[in-house]
Structure 1
Amino acid sequence: MNNKKNPRSCLPGVLEWSSCAGLLLWGPLVWAPFAAADGESTSAAPSGLVLDETQVTARHRLEKPQNVPIALSVLDGQQLDDSGLHDLQGIQERIPGLVVSGHNARYAGLGLRGFGATAYNDGLESSVGVFVDGVYLGRSGMAFSDLLDVERVEVLRGPQGTLYGKNTSAGAINIVTRQPTPYLESSAETSLGSHGTREYRGVLSGPLVDEVLMGRLSASQSTRDPEVENLHNGSRLNDQNRQALRGQLLWTPNARFSARLSADRAWQDETGNALLASQYSQETRNRARFMRYTLLPTDPYRRETQQDGLTRTRSQQNGLSLELNWTLDDEHVLTSLSGYRDWRFRNPRDGDGSGLAIAQADSGLDQRQFSQEWRLAGKVNDRLDYVVGLYYLQQHLDRTVDVDFGKDASAWFLGDRPELAAFGVTRPQQIPASLLNGAGQRFDGEQKGDSRAVFGQYTWRPLEPLELTFGLRYTEERKTGWISREVVNLAPLERDPISLVGGQLLRNVALGGSYYRRSTIDEHNVSGLLGLSYRFNEQVLGYASVSRGSKAGGINLDVVSLGVNPTYKAEQATSMEVGVKTQFWNDAARMNLALYQTDVDDYQALTYSRPVDTLSPPLRDNLLNVGAVRLRGIELDFAWRLNERIDLRWGTAWSDARYRDFENAPCPPGSGQWTCNLSGARLYNAPEWNTTAGVDWRYPLEAGLEAYSGLDYSLRSGYQGTLEGGPGSYQPGYGLANLRVGLRDHERSWSVEGWARNLFDKQYITAVYSLLGAGDYGVLPGDPRTVGLTLNVRH
């Protein structure tokens, strides 16, 4: 190694940074595999200078993340608490490649490596599975609640199915909560900030019966004042009001058995998540002109809207899980994991988003699920490990949507029709309001699903540094569902010419008629994993893998037009990945690199269906399977404890996500044609670049005190927010900076911290949705700059 540049010359305190930058990035990959055979380290860090260590259970055993041969990001719960990140929307700022979209829980979407964050449909599952203490959350919206008392969050990229109960095609988010402790532990935290921000969090944990029974109780509440002004009546919308509660019992009667019972509740009651217009179609502009109604400017950053109807979002979630662990002998552990969850979501909202009395909608979802997993893990010998399991998941979803039409509905839907000139109609008052006023639609639906699977993964080490992994999964999925529509409260048609000529046609278009459909799917699929890893030395692990995952097909829980399939096929993802995980300077620094390509067959997406006539609008009811999608990219994570006072981190993800076969894709609204060939185009909700960086600084003071600060930055390139990519649906790129500065004692038993989120008050969009009509889009702007103070005490 004498002919190599000594990495110790690039340690902190050396001014010649430019000559060392290349070595810092690539050095470990070049020289670490050729470390001295006698085990003497080729590089050294100051004594005791190592990164904080964490452990993960991604493979159902405790191990260091650097020893797991998959692309894996881990966020420690203490780091999340320090950064004030208590929901998935905030966590995406720390995980390159993770996209969390949706303006409320019903429209939630999660994406990894460029796919998965699709638009909503009540029958659609998530490509990214979310697990809380091993229990799968059946709907993405269930993960939009507060992350309470979290030990760590593990984000596994790529198909996952041979280790987890539920199969996933894009990846998995494993949320692990803190367990009860055999000693007394308590903490309380209060945050007060601008815009009426109030956050309260508390934990109490300790023994109930010495060495046998322990308990833990956690609670949180977060509120924020409304951000959007409703110019119609002076009210304000888009506030925040969320609470969460969790209680746990841990019973350990002996060294070979443990039982953990956990119950949690989360609820939300907010005036909003109202979307703000980013684009009006020509049709909407013509109708507004006829109604003598002035549309608001398409500037969502003004945070202004005009709505005459009620807008409110309410949800409640309850969970109960029981985990039993039997240590059969020193090498084998049997686990039973039972979980029940229910989720109720209600969303009354102004159906047209304007100050006119056109439509008021009210949506309701009731999700209930039960899951049971049996898992046996252990070692056959020093060279062979295994995990095998059985899984069952039962889900039941009830869905209701009520739409009631107001006095302006008739004139609005007919106001842009040139045919009315033949009757001398030039004013909205000439169109009888009774055509639609008071009428309503009642949608009901139900879906039941059963998922059964057997899975296993085996790890064999034929040589000490070589590890081979083989995983296999067989899954049966069955879903049955129905949907109906009923039209109610129709007034008798009047005898005026407009009613006689166009009244029934308008009702047919705006209301439709009675509708009922029942559908069933029954699927069987096989997933698998084949992996190889090689440990060159203590500092470098290289790996390669091929894996296949699946997301179940389903039933379109919407009224569909002629020519639209009522069901859709399963989504299949095949991923190839190579990577290297390194640690150097006696674990003062780590760097992980992964390259991947994923080919997705029958990618599930939602878009418009073609209008059935000139009066009818295009409906966003077409859940289709894209023929083929290709994803490829590079992911790089780097962390460095520069010295006892400074930690640095940096991560970036480049994603090239494209349609390979999509000749029948929808065109942007207003383009003059209906079908476009998007083969070769980039996917929607798939930013090309994601970067996150941060620095944490500590400075010891007298009297056992410590000053500290942290600066976090995340950057995301722009991307299309909808499949058809109409004007107004593009989400521009943005960068966000968060700053915190505080004082604490050296044992961290108390702290006082000032903070600023979105430090530079950047304007950005967090969600895009296609509104009613061809080419109308609404967006949800991100939070403005918020500053505040946090007080924390621990015992």
Structure 2
Amino acid sequence: MRLSRLTLTTYFALGSTCVLAQAPLKPVLEEVVVTSTRQEEALQSIPISVSILSNDYISQLNLHNLEEAAASIPNIQMLNDAGGTQLFIRGIGSGINFGFEQSVGTFIDNVYYGRGRSTRSAFLDIERVEILKGPQSTLFGKNTIAGAINISTAQPTAITEGYVNSSYTSEINGKQITTVVNTPISSSLRVRAAALFYEDQGYVENTAPNGEDGPQQEEGIGRLSLAWSATEDIEFTLKGEVGRYKVIGRNDMISLANPEATAIYQLYGDPNFTADFDYKKASRDLPNRPQEDLTQTQNLQLTSVINLPNGTLRSITAYQGYDAEHIMDADYGPIPFLDRERHEDHRQLSQEFLLNGSLSRSVDYFAGAYFQQGKLDSHQTTKFMLSSIPLVESRLVALTGLAPGVMDADNVTHFDQDSHSYSAFASLTWRPADKIQTELGVRYSKEHKEISKSSIVAAPGETVTDPERAFALSSFNPISPLRTPPFSLALANEYSYQKERTEEHWTGHLNLQFIPSNQHMMYLKLSNGFKAGGFDEDNALGLEESAEFEDETVHAVELGSKSVLADNRVRFNVAWFYSEYKDIQASTFDGNCCFIVGNAAKSETQGVELDIEIALTQAFTLSSAIAYLEAEYKMFPNAACNEDQVLAWQADSVNNPSGSRAGCKQDLSGKPLQYAPHWAANMRLDYQTFVANNSDFRLGIEAVYTDDFNIANDQDAFLKQESYTKYNAYSRLTFAAWAFSLIGKNLSNEKTSNWGNDVPLASIGFSKTYYQFIEPPRTIEFQVAYHF
């Protein structure tokens, strides 16, 4: 787990002969202050396992976004998959379904961002990133069942300052420029403006005719923050931000294809097609539907702080929204016969009040109330052009008696959801003795969701906006198929339904701390949490048993110790954790068209996390993080089968005379969770020296190790990511106001995958054929910055 970069509290004035004459100062570690408890506290004093990414560390390696940052932290996995964003902590995360909420809550400047897409954008003027592990439901609220990510942006200050940073990255032809300006307008009003522009050409070559290389990124973000000190005790901060994030093409490829699939790809798509896991692929889109992913965000936030005689009152009012358009090649290969287009519109309004203070010298309190209103509208079109593969179509024509072309279709679905969340919490911290501290917290939460969902299957290009056809019977029957179209593969049905659900939860935590000295602290934390239930946004067949999934819950215990040793030269933190999850939400691809959504009965995670930071000398600092994890299903008897199991099921003519895939189930009890490597580690060595007046040189190298782990939830052996070690490094020369940096990432050029699955339509010739997403190759980045 990547803790804050170690810095020395010794300062040098090299231009002063009297300072140069002094004896060398002892190297020590700087105290790290975080807001992981929603209040500013020293990292070593809080009873939580936390990983910190400081502004210094982010800038040294120029970590572009949260996905890049997470790659360096043991027990953290983040990925942008075929259409969404997944985030896992200690093996717990959200699967593939746009109806799922996050298992890891993301907070930016104390505002909850409920959709993964909201956090895809680049880091801009970030002060620090805190990753809290384990349930955080009392202080942070819902959907923090696995943990929380707490991001703080830089705030306006009373100093006129700023910088311009420009960089170029090899391999992807990446160009970035970032500008930040901070200035006081008056003694009480301060302003900070930041902007970022970025583009690259991607790192995967598409060899198919007219294929798009990818993932080509274009990004622009602008932020303006105003801070006004109305009085000595009243402060207002207004922040507005807009962003535009576009990706052309993708980094997916068919990494394995059976002989029949290979022949089909070569005959009807690309005669030179070969399946491989490399930085080349063959993928073709339907006409006038190139692979693109465009997200436009708008965020507005007002934070008010009032200092009271014995405490502080904060009000956080926020609006956030995004509009997204996404077109993907859903067959992943060189034959343009299956794609999916999604339009997504999300709006969220939230209000939170936080009150903290002291009741006496030994008792502190913290309380809050939260309201959130959200609206999600999703419009999806899946185009199926089986006529693009005459060989496969002719087989189905002979089998079904349908005419050629009849099986081509457009499936259009609408998913509209309105949600309201209410919660309130309170916690008390009591210090009965000098060396003992205890904290008890509790939160009540209530959530209500209403959805309307419909599906239409039409001939290609057919107008499908007839409301009578789209919503017939929906007000009389909660789920009512309208008709089964002449769509022999049964990839989708026509249906329409409306549903609603309300759930209430009590969550809390108990922290016990023993503090024998200012350098040592031991803690025991007991907590529980929940992740809200909801509705299957995909549910292509309109199956009532798949329309809704239940909330999941967790009970957790963490035992830890935090120490500062050797005259503040060593920071040593260790934590053991155990969490039991019930009704965990799972999503597994059925090998044909759809993800099967349900609740696994029981899962457990346990392990140990160790962090060590050492100021070796005034010039050298060393940090290391090691994590051991056991995360498995304790009870999941009816999980979807992987492809090998499906083939065995279909071959069993006694149990499965029809050859259907639908009845195949496997028992995942005792099997590991996704993204849960047993071992993960990070080691980093930093060097800093002053070379002249107002000039210094920095050098750092980082090794990131990850044990093998499962990518697909069905435990398919082919999709296991083998263990690997990646190396990153940086060097920076600062001279007066200028800084010149050279940054290398993945220097060992490891080819790794963070997502993959079966290619759709295994039953018509694509069995044992897989696609995978490949992560970036080795890149070298040159950066120039001017500070003023």
TM-score (norm 1): 0.86
Instruction: Using the TM superposition, give the Cα deviation of residue 281 of structure 1 relative to its aligned residue in structure 2, in angstroms.
Output: 5.9
Residues 336-735 of structure 1 correspond to what in structure 2 (within 5 A)? 336-406=315-385, 408-409=387-388, 411=390, 414-415=393-394, 420=398, 433-437=404-408, 439-489=409-459, 507-509=487-489, 512-561=492-541, 562=543, 564-608=545-589, 618-671=592-645, 672-673=648-649, 674-735=664-725
CA drift of 1:447 comes to 1.0
Contact 2:491 2:593 in 1 (8 A): no
Preserved contact between residue 150 and residue 176 of structure 1 (Cα < 8 Å): yes
* Residues 90-109 of structure 1 aligned to structure 2 (within 5 Å): 90-103=68-81, 106-109=83-86
From 258, 266, 291, the equivalent of 1:311 is 291
Q: Secondary structure at the match of 1:335?
A: strand
Partner SS for 1:249: strand
2:97 aligned counterpart, secondary structure? coil
Relative to structure 1, the CA distance from residue 621 to residue 703 in structure 2 (aligned partners, 3 Å threshold; closer, same or farther) is closer
1:121-174 CA deviation, whole Å, 9 max, x = no partner?
111011000000011111112111112111111111111121124441000000
Alignment deviations for residues 335-359 of structure 1 (CA, whole Å, 9 cap, x no partner): 1101110011111222322332313
Q: How far off its partner does 1:783 sit?
A: 0.8
Paired position in structure 2 for 1:781: 774
Does the 8 Å CA contact 2:181/2:192 hold for their aligned counterparts?
yes
Deviation digits for residues 607-636 of structure 1 (CA, Å, limit 9, x no counterpart): 245xxxxxxx74423211100001000000
Which amino acid is 1:655 matched to?
Answer: L
Distance 1:407 1:384 in 2: 69
Contact preservation (8 Å) 1:290, 1:416: no
Mark the CA change 1:728 to 1:338 in structure 2 (over 3 Å): closer, same or farther. Answer: same
User: In 2, Cα distance between the equivalents of 1:489 and 1:785?
Assistant: 46
Distance change in 2, residues 1:685/1:256 (3 Å) = same
CA apart distance, 1:65: 0.2
Q: Give the drift of 1:585.
A: 2.0
Give the Å deviation of 1:715: 1.0
Structure 1 residues 136 and 763: CA distance shift in structure 2, 3 A: same
Indicate how the Cα distance of structure 1 residues 362 and 292 shifts in structure 2: closer, same or farther if over 3 A, else same. Answer: closer
Report the alpha carbon displacement of residue 750 of structure 1 after superposing the two structures with TM.
Answer: 2.2
Query: Which residue identity does 1:752 align to in structure 2?
Result: F
Cα–Cα, structure 1 residues 484 and 197, in superposed 2: closer, same or farther, change >3 Å?
Answer: same
* CA RMSD, Structure 1 to Structure 2 (Å): 2.4
Amino acid corresponding to residue 790 of structure 1 in structure 2: Q
Give, in whole Å, the separation in 2 of the partners of 1:326 and 1:292: 65
> Which digits, 9 at most, give the CA deviation of each residue in 1:632-677, with x for residues without a partner?
0000011111111011100011110011011112221132232122
Q: Residues of 2 paired with 1:80 and 1:111: CA distance?
A: 20
The Cα offsets for residues 328-380 of structure 1, whole Å up to 9 and x where unpaired, read as 21x21111101110011111222322332313321111111011101111111
* Cross-structure match for 2:728: 738
Query: 1:416, 1:690 → 2: CA distance?
Result: 49
**Equivalent residue number for residue 498 of structure 1:** none
Letter in 1 for 2:62: G
Change in CA separation of 1:644 and 1:511 when aligned onto 2, cut-off 3 Å: closer
Secondary structure of the corresponding residue to residue 162 of structure 1: helix
For the Cα contact (< 8 Å) 1:560–1:566, is it kept in 2? no
Using a 3 Å threshold, how does the CA distance of structure 1 residues 88 and 202 change in structure 2: closer, same or farther?
Answer: same
**Does 2:48 align with 1:70?**
yes
Q: Is the 8 A contact 1:606 1:622 kept in 2?
A: yes
2:284 is paired with a residue whose SS is coil
- Aligned counterparts of 1:109 and 1:292: Cα–Cα separation in 2: 31
The one-character-per-residue Cα deviations of 1:96-115 (angstroms, maximum 9, x if unpaired) are: 211102336x4211111111
Contact 1:540 1:582 in 2 (8 A): yes
**Residue aligning to 1:8:** none
2:585 partner letter: Q
Q: How big is the shift at 1:221?
A: 1.8
Q: Distance in 2 between matches of 1:447 and 1:631?
A: 32
The superposition leaves residues 537-591 of structure 1 with CA deviations (integer Å, 9 ceiling, x where unpaired) of: 1111000011001100011112354473311111101111100000012222101
Does the 8 Å CA contact 2:265/2:273 hold for their aligned counterparts? no
Give TM-score scaled by structure 2 length. Answer: 0.87
Distance 1:415 1:723 in 2: 34
Aligned to 2:65: 87
Give the counterpart of 2:133 among 157, 164, 177. 157
Aligned pairs for 1:104-119 within 5 A: 106-116=83-93, 118-119=94-95
Secondary structure of the 1:180 match is: coil
The one-letter amino acid paired with 1:70 is: I
Shift of 1:404: 2.9
In structure 2, distance between residues paired with 1:404 and 1:667: 26
The residue identity in structure 2 corresponding to 1:517 is Y
Look up the SS of the partner of 2:59 in the other structure.
Answer: helix
* SS of alignment partner, residue 139 of structure 2: coil
Aligned in 2, Cα 1:701/1:621: closer, same or farther, shift over 3 Å? closer
**Residue aligned with 1:355, SS:** coil
Query: Where does structure 1 differ by over 6 angstroms across 4 or more consecutive aligned residues?
Result: none
CA shift digits 1:495-551 (9 cap, x unpaired): xxxxxxxxx986243564421122211111111101100111111100001100110
Q: Name the residue aligned to 1:123.
A: 99
CA separation of 1:237 and 1:416: change in aligned 2, threshold 3 A: farther
Secondary structure of 1:547's aligned partner: strand
Compared CA separation, residues 410 and 758, structure 1 to 2 (3 A) = closer
Unaligned segments of structure 2, at least 5 residues: 1-22, 463-483, 650-663, 763-767
- Contact 1:377–1:387 at 8 Å: present in 2 too? yes
Match of 1:791 in 2: 784
Partner of 2:300: 320
Q: 1:280 to 1:481 in 2, by over 3 A?
A: farther
Q: What pairs with 1:136-151 in structure 2 (closer than 5 Å)?
A: 136-151=112-127
Partners of 1:731 and 1:768 within 8 A in 2: no
> Which shifted more, 311-320 or 282-291?
282-291
List per-residue Cα deviations over 1:155-207 (Å, max 9, x = no partner). 11111121124441000000011100111011111111212121211100111
| Preserved CA contact (<8 Å) 1:50 1:586 | yes
- Paired AA for residue 518 in structure 1: Q
- Checking the alignment, whether the CA contact within 8 Å between 2:383 and 2:460 is kept in structure 1 is no
Q: Quick check: 1:348–1:363 contact (8 Å CA) kept in 2?
A: yes
Deviation at 1:485, TM superposition (A): 1.2
Q: Percent identity?
A: 26
Gaps of 5+ in 1: 1-44, 424-430, 493-503, 610-616
Give the direction of change, closer, same or farther, for the CA distance of 1:637–1:324 in structure 2 (3 Å limit).
same
Q: Could you tell me which amino acid in structure 1 is paired with residue 387 of structure 2? A: D
| Partner Cα separation in structure 2 for residue 510 and residue 311 of structure 1 | 26
Which stretch has the larger CA shift, 475-484 or 398-407?
Answer: 398-407
Aligned mates of 1:511, 1:629 — CA distance in 2: 31
- Distance, in Å, in 2 between the alignment partners of 1:288 and 1:304 is 12
Give the letter for the 1:634 counterpart: V
More deviation, 585-594/52-61:
52-61
Corresponding residue for residue 257 of structure 1: 234
In the TM superposition, residue 284 of structure 1 has moved relative to its aligned partner by 4.3
User: Is 1:765 aligned with 2:753?
Assistant: yes
Question: Number of paired residues?
Answer: 718
Distance 1:317 1:422, change over 3 A: closer
Q: Corresponding residue for 2:466?
A: none
What residue in structure 2 maps to residue 25 of structure 1? none
